[in-house]
Structure 1
């Protein structure tokens, strides 16, 4: 009987970090759900139903690791701030945070006249704006009836270059 106990104690102790990580992961997920995040598909469906128009998402993602992905459709009073948010997060590395904010062009956010802007040209000939802010980098594209604002943590600028953003924007396929 003592042998069984001695064998099982190290086995259970070895699994403790996995259980702790799972508990932390569950808390992390519950927090995001509590503030309105759902699956990307559910958020996309809600936004498309609200706007009565298909919202094509890019097929490409930045070349960084993520543990979670969520979506949230924000429908505030009026239409000006209604948008679809898509978040990719890494629970273990706060720098690995990628966000897409998609809104109708009629309610787009203006970036012209700001400092730290660089313009890029996409395959379809449209222009995109690369904006460096204090802690974030944004890449803004207008495609069809939508404004796409892609954002990453500035600490990822060596991995997610403007060229990577161009590839992501070029992967938006309109039907």
Structure 2
């Protein structure tokens, strides 16, 4: 279990004001409660979970548009029998409980079903659909979505004076997807397009692919070329797939197939 750092009656957690680390002066009851749940600095918790899961974690660059005074985290590992292994980050305002917001991350392969909640689908763009739950007053609002590596669960309290609404949570989620998309090479993006399109076009499973390179046709047209291997039962097929797009708008123009 990860431990909080207790120094001279002060629980040290991440602060959103000034430096990364700051102090929070808490009453003894609240201090003990935070110690019991293993509160620690956000960066400490983030690195602990990255070490445990063996892969990098990307947090949304945006936050809901309300004030926070402090942030703290916890990396739950399997030695804790209460919860599945995951990262939890909590943002709070010391005098405005309606601003309480938290973020949980689970490995995508062990995502939380949350089937006991009644969700509505929300389109985030970037080929991603989120699920949104708006609970009764004095409970919570929740938005959950998955990337290739992680399931993200965003929570906000649902109080009469709360200003963190569905649009705020969607904006946070979209900021993450935009960041991931900017980091992803064009070849990976168009490679996914080529595989999905070819699989549907031939009604076969793509079992492997090879990137053949990028070719500039004109200032308005570029091509990403791939060789794909497809299989359906005993039938196997090799295909050259060319994805043609506008590099300025990143709009897909057409896809060509050439069987080898």
TM-score band, normalised by the shorter chain? 0.7 to 0.9
Given the two structures, how large is their TM-score scaled by the length of structure 2?
0.53
- What is residue 166 of structure 1 aligned with on the other side? 170
The answer to whether the aligner puts 1:87 opposite 2:90 as a matched pair is yes
* Aligned residues: CA RMSD: 2.6
Match for residue 106 of structure 1 among 91, 106, 109 = 109
Note if 1:152 corresponds to 2:156. Answer: yes
For the pair 1:136 / 2:151, whether they are aligned, the reply is no
Choose 1 or 2 for highest CA Rg. Answer: 2
Correspondence 1:6-21 to 2 at 5 A: none
Aligned-partner SS, 1:171: helix
- Shift of residue 38, structure 1, vs aligned partner: 1.1
Larger relative contact order, structure 1 or 2 (CA cutoff 8 Å, min sep 6): 1
Q: How many aligned residue pairs are there?
A: 152
Question: What's the secondary structure of 2:167's corresponding residue?
Answer: helix
- Separation in structure 1 between the aligned mates of residue 127 and residue 174 of structure 2, nearest angstrom: 10
Provide the C-alpha distance between the structure 2 equivalents of 1:24 and 1:125, rounded to a whole number of angstroms. 41
CA contact (8 A) 2:98 2:162 kept: no
Q: Which has the higher helix share?
A: 1
CA drift of 1:24 comes to 8.0
Structure 2 residue runs without a partner (length 5+)? 1-22, 184-260
Q: Does the CA contact (< 8 Å) of 2:70 and 2:92 recur in 1? A: yes
